[in-house]
Structure formats: C-alpha cells, structure tokens
Homo-oligomer: A and B are copies of this chain.
Amino acid sequence: MMTGVTTLPEDLTTDLHDLYRHLHAHPELSMQESATAELIEERMGALGYETTRIGGTGVVAVLTNGEGPVIGFRADTDGLPVAEATGLDYASTDRGTLPDGTDVPVMHACGHDTHMTAAIGAATLLQQSRESWSGTVVLVFQPGEETAAGAVAMLEDGLWDKVPRPEVMFAQHLSADLAGTVNLSTGPALAMADSLEVVVHGRGGHGSRPESTIDPVVLAAHMIVRLQSLVSRELAAQDAAVLTVATIHAGMKENIIPAEAVFTINVRTLDERVRQQVLAGIRRIVSAEAAASGAPEPEVRELYTFPLVHNDEETSAAVTEVLVAALGADRVSPRVPQMGSEDFGALPEAIGVPGVYWFFGGLPQDVIDLPEPTPSNHSPFFAPVLEPTLSTATTAAYEVIRSRLG
C-alpha cells in the first residue's frame, strides 16, 4: 500500500489548480509561447524572482539568496497541434498557426502545463522557505521543446552568459503512470530522435491513365511498408529502435494522380551505432523503392535531431534518496530508458555540468486499470488528474532543488 499523498498548503493548492486550468485551456505552439511567457514573467516577478527573456519566448527566473550553490531547474512551456478530445471543462479550444501557415487546434497534450505549474509551485515554496537556505535558484522556462528548437534558441541567445551558471540541472516530466509516483533511470534516460522529411517525386496525370504517370502514392506506400523490414529484420532484437511515419500528404483531387507525396519519419534510438544504421537504411530503402518505380531520386531532408538525455549516475542516486525521503519509498521507482526524446540534455551539456531528469505520474488507478490502452502523452484524450499529480510534482521539484542549496 502506498504512503499518504504529499499535501501542500491549501491556498497554494488552490492557486496552482487555477493556474494549471488556465495554462491547460490556453496552450501555445512551439516558439510562439508569448502569452505563456508573459504569464510566467508576471507570476515569477510577483514572487520576487528576477526574470530575463531569452530565446524569444524563453524566460529565466533567478532568485539569489546569499552565498551558496547555483542550482538549475528547467520547465518546458509549449503545447502541441492536437485537437483536444478529453471533454474536460477546461479543455483547450484554442488554435494556432504552424510555420507553414496551417491553422491547427492546440492542446497541452504532453503535460508541459503541469511542468510550469509545478515549477511555479516549487518557486513559491523556495521563496517562502528562503530563510532556511542560501544560494541561487535558476528556473529555466524553456519554449519549443516539442520541436527541439527551444533549448538551442536559448543557448544561442546567450543563456549561460545572461544568468548564473548552475552546478547541476534538473527537469521533470509528466508520464502516463500512477499519479503520486515518480520514477527515474540511471544512465540513458531518453532516446535520441531524428526527424526526416521524404519528398517522393513521381509524375502526375489523370487518374484514369496511370500508364502515363509514375504514381507517387503507391510508391510512398511501398516505401512505408518496406521501412518496417528495417526495424524487423536489420536490427538485433536487443537494439532498441522506433521508426514512425506519422504524417503523409499527397494529392488534392481523387481523379488527379499527384506529382509528389511527402511523408515524415521519426526515429528513436539509444545508441549511436543503431542510429546510424537506421538512418542509412532509410536512405537506402527510399532510394531503391523510387528506382523500383522508375521514379526520380527522392529527397530526404533532416528536420531536427534530439540528443540523448543521460542521467548522471552519482547525481541520480542522490536525487533518488531525496525523493524517497520526501515521498516515501513506495512512490519512487527505477525506470528503463524511454524512447521519448527531449532537448533538456543540451542545457547542462553546454556548460559541462551533470543533469538529472525524472518522471511523475498523472493518471488515477482506475484509468490505468482500464482494459483499453491508456491514453498516453500526445493523445487527444490524455488527461492527468490534478491531484496528487501537481502536489507530487511540486514537492519533488522543491525538495530536489532545496537539497542542493546551502
């Protein structure tokens, strides 16, 4: 049986719940988190933190409280182009515009709203307890995590020249685990990710005369089918890899064979050798399939790359101890490396300090027990419960940061 849930002061709880519902209802797309950034600046300023805009919509909030260690913590702020289907009364109905001009619905489908809420909660607790510690807290509210653009943008905008450099960086992420629990791995924590766009060139024509065309839709279908064999037959069973084709777009009219089809590939790997093997295999297969159709060489464009998130071994052991003390041993568990990806790793790496990244659950037991697969991150049905999710995440962030201060 699990030990009793962590509780926060009632007024803080009420405040964080209101904040969370507001953030959830008003998500913004990656690198467009303007209203979110303003809200963070306002909240953190009110708490006495000094805020700096870095990387467009990034905000760093610093609380200097005498001599002592500088400790970093990062929360990410962007939503996703997902049409929320949770039916919650604070569900998002907001829309946004993708860089290519497409108007899309937006949803905090990956829980970044919980990340911001918990960070602000921890910031509040740190501010309230500032007589008991000394040092500097650096809270990084990072935009554009979903597109791998945000960490890079903040670094390129001089992040570590503009604010005190921490000696260690922490971050946490909502997961489809039991609310009230946290878990973390040692060593590899999150996978490398590579996103590619494949432009399949055929030759368009009338739908009734395929013989005068090179059909890019059938060709793209063959490519997608053929890519499955790359995972199923070319990698060892022990080599973890995911190859997802999540988008495909071709054609405007059902009786016009289009001249091209475009699809995107997302690759996850934990090992550089496997990564290189998969990336080379993709290029080999799409090129050969085009040749099988007598089509021109397709274009394969790299969209972005996420680095590995690696949990420093010594630091993650110390973090585990803190979390066990704060939450109880039955609410802290180890985790195998996940195939999800993050650009968090770039922040500590840029200044050569260790980083640790943990997960906190957000689902009630009855949802986890459903016979249906549980809606997970990025699902339009992903709906974390407010408690004990937010109090646990707030406590975890506060206790870990606090443990490193003087």
A246 pairs with B255, CB closer than 8 A: yes
Q: Which of A37-45, A61-69, A118-126, A226-234 contacts B (4 or more CB under 8 A)?
A: A226-234
- In whole Å, how far is A21's beta carbon from the nearest beta carbon of chain B? 24
Chain B residues with CB below 8 A from A195, complex form: 254-255
If A215-B244, A339-B208 touch, does A380 touch B254 (CB 8 Å cutoff)? no
Binds B, one of A51-59, A156-164, A369-377: A369-377
Q: Is A237 on the interface with B (CB-CB < 8 A)?
A: yes
A1 interfacial by beta-carbon distance below 8 Å: no
Write out the residue numbers on chain B whose beta carbons fall within 8 Å of the beta carbon of A224. 217-218, 221
| Chain B residues whose CB sits within 8 angstroms of the CB of A46 once the complex forms | none
Copies in the complex: 4
A92 shortest CB reach to chain B, Å? 15
Cβ contact of A209, chosen from B104, B197, B228, B339, cutoff 8 A: B339
Complex: chain B residue closest to A270, CB-CB: B237
B288 contacts A291, C-beta separation under 8 Å: yes
Chain B residues within 8 Å of A82, by CB: 252, 256
- Known contacts A252-B104, A254-B195: A210-B234 contact under CB 8 Å: yes
Q: Are B232 and A248 in contact (CB under 8 A)?
A: no
Among A102, A226, A228, A338, residue most surrounded by chain B Cβ atoms (within 10 Å): A228
A238 contacts chain B at the CB level, 8 A cutoff: yes
Is A210's CB under 8 angstroms from B288's CB?
no
Within 8 Å of chain B (Cβ to Cβ): is A207? Answer: yes
**Smallest beta-carbon distance A333→chain B, Å:** 16
Within 8 A of B (CB), among A237-268: 237-259, 261, 263-266, 268
A247: chain B residues within 8 A (beta carbon): 217, 250-254, 258
Nearest 3 A/B pairs, CB to CB: A247-B251, A288-B292, A254-B264
Q: A208-B244, A248-B251, A259-B380 known; 12 other A-B pairs, CB under 8 Å?
A: A82-B256, A193-B255, A204-B379, A206-B378, A207-B244, A231-B231, A236-B339, A237-B240, A237-B268, A238-B240, A247-B250, A251-B264
Would you mind naming 5 contact pairs between A and B with Cβ atoms under 8 Å apart? A208-B341, A217-B224, A237-B268, A237-B339, A246-B254
